[in-house]
Amino acid sequence: MTLEVRDLRVEFPTRRGTLTALDGISIAIAPGEVLGVVGESGAGKSITGLAIIGLLEPPGRIAAGEVRLEGQRIDNLPPGEMRKLRGRKIGVIFQDPLTSLNPLYTIGRQLEETIVAHLPMAKRAARDRALALLGEVGIPAPAARYRHYPHQFSGGMRQRVVIALALAAEPRLLIADEPTTALDVSIQAQIIALLKRLAAERGAAVMLITHDMGVIAETAHRVAVMYAGRIVEVGGVREVIHAPKHPYTVGLMGSIPRIAAKRSRLVQIDGAMPRLNAIPPGCAFHPRCTRRFERCLHERPDLLPAGASRAACWLHAAA
Amino acid sequence: MPLLSLQGVSRDFDVSRPWLNRVLEHEPRRLLRAVDHVSLDIEKGETVGLVGESGCGKSTVARLIVGLYAPSEGRVEFRGRRLQMIFQDPYASLNPRWRVRDIVAEPIRFLGTAGKVQELLAQVGLSADDGDKYPHEFSGGQRQRISIARALAGEPDFLVCDEPTSALDVSVQAQILNLMSELQRRLGLTYLFISHNLAVVSQVADRVGVMYLGRIVELAPAAQLFSRPRHPYTRMLLDAVPDLAMSGRPRTPVRGEVPNPLAPPAGCTFHPRCPHADDRCRREVPAFSDGVACHAVAEGRIATAIEAARLE
């Protein structure tokens, strides 16, 4: 496994007590595999990504569990070591390409610097590699664009540059947090295809964080669905999309409008996801769940086998 | 008589550099045409969807209709009682210092509103106590309910909704879309529904217009547009939507990006990205007729029948 996360727990100590942002998160991603992490805002999907790459905003901290990259434990590395690892072994792509690029440097210089910092390469060779990367991510006329600044690129082109930067040192793990959310659909389709192809060619493990099930369906092999800081369902992409097992996933899938099948009324999950300081006891989804029963109110379910997937729901408890 | 009609409406924005630069550097004025000769009729009780990518002019159309912008050319005629607008961002469109009660009552504050606010809140699924709270006490979905209650206060018959669910999570989006269609049925509202999300538009709209660089390139009943798209741009957009059903249907990869609207291509503005473009497309702007603005469709160069079979 390229990435292994076991029982990860992230806490934010505040004046009014400790908030648990993530609890019992376990994830494994194999080389060449794309794991989609999906959930609504506040579910904890971005925090999961940040915890793995060691960029949790203080006072947030990993309170329990471990993160292993190619077998090596990385959650307890000193900050300097972790910084070297990011960029070298872990590539990161964020939603807004403008925050990942330095507006004062040409994109060529930024790429060159990244390559020289992480790979044993002379400037000349780094330049060639940077040009090759720009070509690979689909920037037309890379030699001419090399000296351009980020503001001279469109949103889609900028995101391509960010992908080139993330891939510059041949990382083993790529974490993409909402990489297409800021883009138009036609550009989104191009970026998804690009990410898929590059990850497959390089055998990198990819963690794709998004709120968009459509993007997951197009890209991921497996999916983890998050709700209120926990994984509530995990399984192969086909199983989760076509035969969801957790009532939350069922509701989520039903609430997505689809072009082919107009319905008079969308399935709706009443209420909203609880805030971190008001997570209900028992199963966190029970107040919104139409299939809840006594046990759900008091006891929190772990991931249980449910068909070919696993779901954290008492409906799937062996009788 | 349509409730609302746009007749050849255009809107230019002056994006020139400052006067001194223009004089010293001999630069001409530069105009950006955000909306270009858009004509559209909306009948009472229907929902017209408007889709397109960022910068295509769909929000400018919304603002022209409600009078936030004046048209540079053409006419906007509204024959209804009152129109209102619902905005995308329920965080920016509600005054954080006002109580919900006052926000909802603002449009009718001179009419004596005591009982009315409670009724409005109930209509959008909020409780009467919610009127005493401030916007920050609500989630995004509830805030959008407040915006809808405010829009309904003046008893409008026409609502312009500019990306009303784009800032919301999908499960909350479903709640708002269901609420909007209930209100339409109950109050006989007419909607112009603007969104970049084709699936959302297909869920709510009776007719759909597709915009590209300021023009409507195709306008058709929703069922027809989504099952038998005619304009190459509409097809490209539909092919770009992620395939949630994972049917593995064949799709053509998307080419290129929207060009710079300050220097739009000559002829049909879509021609640099169009697989069917020929010399005429590069030269001549296609006229909008019979629901579509495309030379290739008009000349019968695109075989709609084959395409339709492929999609079904």
Q: Are A40 and B244 an interchain contact pair (Cβ–Cβ within 8 Å)?
A: no
Report the pLDDT value the prediction gives residue B303, as an integer from 0 to 100. Answer: 67
pLDDT of residue A96: 83
- A190, A218, A267: residue with CB nearest B174: A267
Q: Does B196 touch chain A (CB under 8 A)?
A: yes
Phi, psi of B69 (to 5 degrees): -120, 150
- What's the pLDDT tens digit per position in A200-209? 888 999 999 9
Closest CA to B45 of B187, B140, B167, B154: B187
Chain A, residues 192-231, CB within 8 A of chain B, namely: 192-193, 211-215, 217-218
CA–CA distance, B216 with B198 (Å, rounded to integer): 15
**Residue B193 region, left (φ>0) first, then alpha (ψ -120 to 50), else beta?**
beta
CB pairs under 8 A between A and B: 116
Above 70 in pLDDT, residue A319? no
pTM (predicted TM-score)? 0.88
How does DSSP classify residue B27?
P
Which of B59, B143, B171, B183 to mutate to test binding with chain A, by most A CBs within 10 Å of its CB? Answer: B171
pLDDT at A261 over 60: yes
Q: Which of A31-40, A261-270, B62-71, B205-214 has the weakest average pLDDT?
A: A261-270
Q: What's the mean pLDDT when you consider all of chain B?
A: 89
| pLDDT cut 90: percent of chain A above it | 66
Confidence of residue B310 (pLDDT cuts 50, 70, 90): low
Per-residue model confidence (pLDDT) at position A183: 84
Q: How far is A33 from chain B (nearest CA, A)?
A: 18
Q: Provide the pLDDT confidence category of residue B96 given band limits of 50, 70 and 90.
A: very high
Nearest CA in chain A to B312: A260
Helix (H) or strand (E) holding A237: helix A237-242
Strands B83-86 and B215-221: unpaired
CB A129 within 8 A of CB A116: no
Q: What is the pLDDT of residue A302?
A: 92
Domains of chain B: 4-81+157-227 (3.40.50.300)
- Does B130 have pLDDT greater than 80? yes
Give the dihedral sign, CA A282/A286/A287/A293.
negative
- Checking if the pLDDT of A294 tops 70, the result is yes
The DSSP line for B136-194 is GGS-HHHHHHHHHHHHHHT--SEEEEESTTTTS-HHHHHHHHHHHHHHHHHHT-EEEEE
Higher-pLDDT residue of A110, A190: A110
Is it the case that residue B311 has pLDDT exceeding 60?
no
> What are A53's two structure tokens?
């790459």
Q: How many other C-beta atoms can be found within 10 angstroms of the C-beta atom of residue A104?
A: 9
- Residues B262-293: pLDDT tens digits? 889 999 999 999 999 999 999 999 999 889 99
- Chain A closest CA to B243's CA: distance in Å? 6
Neighbour-count burial of A234, counting CB atoms closer than 10 A to its CB (0-12 exposed, 13-18 middle, 19+ buried): buried
How confident is the model over B117-129, as pLDDT tens digits?
888 999 899 988 8
Mark which residues 118-147 of B lie under 8 Å from A by CB.
Answer: 139-142
**CB-based contact (8 Å) between B236 and chain A?**
yes
User: B-chain residues within 8 Å CB-CB of A272?
Assistant: 139, 141-142, 172
Q: Which two tokens stand for residue B291?
A: 């629901």
Which positions in chain B touch A259 (Cβ < 8 Å)?
198-199, 202, 226, 238, 241
Using a CB-CB distance cutoff of 8 angstroms, which residues of chain A are in contact with residue B171?
40, 251-252, 255, 268-269
At residue B305 the predicted structure's pLDDT band, cuts being 50, 70 and 90, is very low
Mean pLDDT of B115-141: 89
Q: Which position has the token pair 């695109």?
A: B302
Residues A166-193 have a mean pLDDT of 89
- Condensed to tens digits (0 to 9), the pLDDT of residues A12-55 reads 999 988 999 999 999 999 999 999 999 988 899 999 999 999 99
Question: Looking at the complex, does the CB of residue A241 fall below 8 Å from at least one CB of chain B?
Answer: yes
Q: Is the predicted pLDDT of residue A119 greater than 60, yes or no?
A: yes
ipTM exceeding 0.90, yes/no: no
Over range B194-218, report the average pLDDT.
Answer: 94
List B300's β-bridge partners, or say none. Answer: none
Coil, strand, or helix at residue A307? coil
> Could you give the CA distance from residue B186 to residue B125 in angstroms, rounded to a whole number?
14
The stretch B168-191 carries a mean pLDDT of 92
Strand A72-73 and strand A61-69: pairing?
antiparallel
Question: Which runs of consecutive H residues, i.e. helices, occur in A137-236?
Answer: 142-145, 155-167, 185-202, 213-219
Q: How far is CA B190 from CA A289, A309, B112, B123, B299, in A?
A: 34, 44, 26, 17, 35
Residue B262 touches partner A, C-beta closer than 8 Å: no
* pLDDT of residue B212 exceeding 70: yes
* Helix, coil or strand: residue A174: strand
Nearest 5°: the CA angle B190, B192, B198 is 130
Q: Of the given ranges (A33-42, A244-253, A261-270, A280-289), which has the lowest mean pLDDT?
A: A261-270
Q: What is the pLDDT of residue B114?
A: 66
| pLDDT confidence of residue B143 | 92
Report whether A266 contacts A255 (CB < 8 A).
Answer: yes
- Look over chain A and give the mean of its residue pLDDT values, rounded to a whole number: 91
Looking at CA atoms only, how far is residue B296 from chain A in angstroms? 21
Q: Span B294-305, mean pLDDT?
A: 81
- Flag whether pLDDT at B301 surpasses 90: no
- According to the model, what pLDDT value does residue B242 have? 86
Question: Which pLDDT value is given to residue B261?
Answer: 84
d(CA B312, CA A165) in angstroms, rounded, equals 41
**Residues of chain B with C-beta less than 8 angstroms from the C-beta of A187:** 254, 257
- pLDDT, one tens digit per residue, over B48-92 is 999 998 889 999 999 999 999 999 999 999 999 999 999 888 888
Residue-level pLDDT at B91: 83
**8 Å CB contact of B242 and A267:** no
How many C-beta neighbours within 10 Å does residue A71 have?
8
Are B239 and A189 in contact (CB < 8 Å)? yes
Using the beta-carbon criterion (under 8 Å), do B202 and A184 form an inter-chain contact? no
* Separation of alpha carbons B214 and B283, rounded Å: 18
Q: Which residue's structure tokens are 């664009």?
A: A145
